[in-house]
Amino acid sequence: MKQENNNLFLRVYDRLHSYYGSQGWWPGETPLEMMVGAVLTQNTSWGNVEKALGNLKNAGHLSVSNLLEMEQEQLAEYIRPSGYYNIKARRLKNLLQMISDKYEGELTYFLKDSLEESRENLLKVKGVGPETADAILLYAAEKPVFVIDTYTHRVFSRHQLVEEDTDYFTLQQEFMDNLPEDPVLFNEFHALIVAVAKEFCKKAKPRCSDCPLQRVEE
């Protein structure tokens, strides 16, 4: 880890918030919708996820009980726009089965569970990794956990705020240690990182000369 980072995390946030304003991110009307969306958004854009969620909502199937009772093949057809639909249907079934087994099928019980317990249960679900689990915890359950993704790694390593090979949990802990424990802040900060990564800190041909984070590390 680079030296003298303690105040840089909030400095990055302030710089991005001044440039972009509030993002009001994660689209979703209910905790279940956001939970399902966290699985569907794996390896695809949110626009495709919205189409898949729309299929489920329009058919009246966006409930824990309906999704559990539905045949996996039928679920896969509803979520086809999200891509990798057979794999994602299986992962959704696994996730919802955990809600059934651990929380009596009541999503409210899961949402009220402790961060540690709910995270442990999520990570035991086949097909749910740290990023998906933390997205569910932050956006659906409003727990104070920072979501790390490829955009976060890219932006912070290019500005030499972290080493390029920093792992998920180490980078996450840096955010948790250097920011107030506030899920609203975590939500907003993550959305701002995604915004600057897509517009300026691109994987290929980054627009460094125009980036609002120029010299933020100085």
**Residues 28-38: tens digit of each pLDDT:** 789 999 999 99
Residue 1 belongs to a domain: no
- Report the CATH number at residue 165: 1.10.1670.10
The proportion of the chain whose per-residue pLDDT surpasses 90, expressed as a percent, equals 89
Final residue belonging to a domain, choices 108, 140, 172: 140
Please check the confidence at residue 88 and state whether its pLDDT lies above 80. Answer: yes
**pLDDT, tens digit (0-9, with 9 covering 90-100), for 117-126:** 999 999 999 9
The answer to whether the CB of 38 falls within 8 A of the CB of 136 is yes
| Residues 157 and 191 both lie in one domain | yes
For the record, the structure tokens of 29 come out as 């009307």
pTM above 0.85, yes or no: yes
Instruction: Name every residue whose Cβ is closer than 8 Å to that of residue 52 and which is 6 or more positions away in sequence.
Output: 40, 78, 79, 80, 81, 82, 85
Cβ–Cβ < 8 Å for 203, 161: no
Do 136 and 154 belong together in one domain? no
Based on the fold, state whether residues 132 and 198 are members of the same structural domain: no
DSSP state of 110: H
Query: Of 119, 140, 161, which residue constitutes the final position of a domain?
Result: 140
User: Does residue 6 or residue 128 have the better pLDDT?
Assistant: 128
One domain for residues 150 and 99: no
Do residue 54 and residue 37 come from a single domain? yes
Tell me whether residue 2 is in a domain: no
Angle at 18 between CA 146 and CA 46, to 5 degrees: 50
Q: Please give the residue range of the domain that contains residue 192.
A: 8-24+146-210
For residue 122, count other CB atoms closer than 10 A to its CB: 25
Average pLDDT, the chain: 94
- Co-location of 166 and 125 in the same domain: no
Question: How confident is the model over 45-52, as a mean pLDDT?
Answer: 94
